[in-house]
Amino acid sequence: MGKRRKAREAALQILFQTEFNDNSLKDILRQFWKNKKADKETREFSRTLVENVLAHKEKIDLSIQSVSENWRVSRMAVIDLCILRMAVCELVFDEDLAPAIVINEAIEIAKKYSGTKAANFINGILDAIKKNTEKEKSLPKGKKND
């Protein structure tokens, strides 16, 4: 498993914990990494991803909701929602990553942590968000939905 996949899986576990834990992110991170082995690069990527998801959570959830025809965000399985939030964060806020890589990573993580049905659901949501993001980026300045 590559460092980025390991970091994304750690970020998923940390984000999941934040859903059920009132402790500060600093405390959650310290406790999480206490008994886990990972190099500095993996920990940094994971921490940055978690911080970015939490910083943009409202916008990310609106993005997910806008393409989710039959599911409200509040009714989605927490693990699936955490995977979606991470991937949407990378799709929308990290222009250095290829969308195909982000989506593939999310699908593989979903298969491991949630199952094939969840992976298919996540693929559909992320594909729609990718298309919306590409469409918005192609609009002339001043025409974007800010």
pLDDT at 143: 52
- State the angle between helix axes of 57-67 and 40-55 in degrees (0 to 180), rounded to the nearest 10: 70
**Domain chopping of the chain, boundaries:** 3-136
Tokens found for residue 131: 């298309």
For 78-96, how does the pLDDT look when each residue is reduced to its tens digit (9 = 90+)?
A: 999 999 999 999 999 888 8
Q: Domain 3-136, CATH 3.40.50.300 — does that match?
A: no
Q: If you write DSSP's letter for every residue of 46-95 in order, what string do you get?
A: HHHHHHHHHHTHHHHHHHHHHH-SS--GGGS-HHHHHHHHHHHHHHHH-T
Q: Which helix (H) or strand (E) holds 30?
A: helix 25-34
For 39-68, how does the pLDDT look when each residue is reduced to its tens digit (9 = 90+)?
A: 999 999 999 999 999 999 999 999 999 999
Rounded alpha-carbon distances, angstroms, from residue 76 to 28, 119, 134: 23, 13, 25
The mean pLDDT of 119-139, rounded to a whole number, is: 89
pLDDT at 140: 67
Q: Is the confidence at residue 13, as pLDDT, over 80?
A: yes
Give Cα 85 to chain centroid, integer Å.
Answer: 3
140 or 19, which is more confident: 19
pTM (two decimals): 0.91
Q: Is the confidence at residue 8, as pLDDT, over 50?
A: yes
Cα 104–Cα 98–Cα 132 angle in degrees, nearest 5: 85
Q: What is the mean pLDDT of the chain?
A: 92
Q: Is the confidence at residue 16, as pLDDT, over 80?
A: yes
Which residues have a Cβ under 8 Å from the Cβ of 89 and sit 6 or more positions away?
49, 52, 53, 56, 60
pLDDT band at 133, cuts 50/70/90? Answer: confident
pLDDT at 137: 73
pLDDT band at 146, cuts 50/70/90? Answer: very low
pLDDT at 35: 86
